[in-house]
Amino acid sequence: MAKQRTHALSDVLDQLESATHGDSIRVQEVIEKLGHRSFASLMLVFSLISTSPASAIPGITSIVAAIVFILVVQMIIGRDCVWLPAFITRRRMSTAKLCKGIGWLRKPVHFVERFLKVRMTFLFHRPWLWLPLIAILGLTIFMPLMEIIPTSGSIASAVIALFAAGLLTRDGRVVVLSLILLLAVPISVWYFGFRG
């Protein structure tokens, strides 16, 4: 089981890649492929999209922020199945850019997977799990503003992806690291972006 967990990230990329067809893919198709109960997988996929070269798609950071915000709210209230509004699920993404992003992510994901293992699982229960979720909630509110600062949205998305990776593989240390970075990102963006 632990071994399967360590390859969970690559499995998610495989599932996403197998869903691509034609010139574009709807967000709803991604949800259906990953499953309506896969909050962590969906959070990982959409935050990775915003981290990869696919982030060149106009407005993708704001869309990802909205999706992650809605997912986190549902996780906090304990909802079992994913729900997203129609204006998001109907939105289409270029399959060419998406596949390019998936290919770009393969190497870093394989590298990260070497260090993942099941540990500190108490962090995946309430109230501990609420700490990073609330931090992500706050970060997503400011992510649309980050589009005016080059790479800041991608950095924020990468930290959210790190949390999702920890959640998906049940690696509590990764969740702790993501929480530290979640608190540091807005401070760093404000200091170096808006003040600088």
pLDDT value for 74: 93
* Domain layout of the chain by residue ranges: 2-195
Residue 9 φ/ψ region, left for φ over 0, alpha for ψ in the -120 to 50 degree band, beta for the rest: alpha
* pLDDT (tens place) for every residue of the chain, 196 residues total: 444 555 678 888 888 888 888 888 888 888 888 887 788 888 888 888 777 766 566 677 788 889 999 999 999 998 888 888 988 888 888 888 788 888 888 888 888 888 888 888 888 888 888 889 998 998 888 887 776 666 777 788 888 998 998 888 889 998 998 888 888 776 666 665 555 5
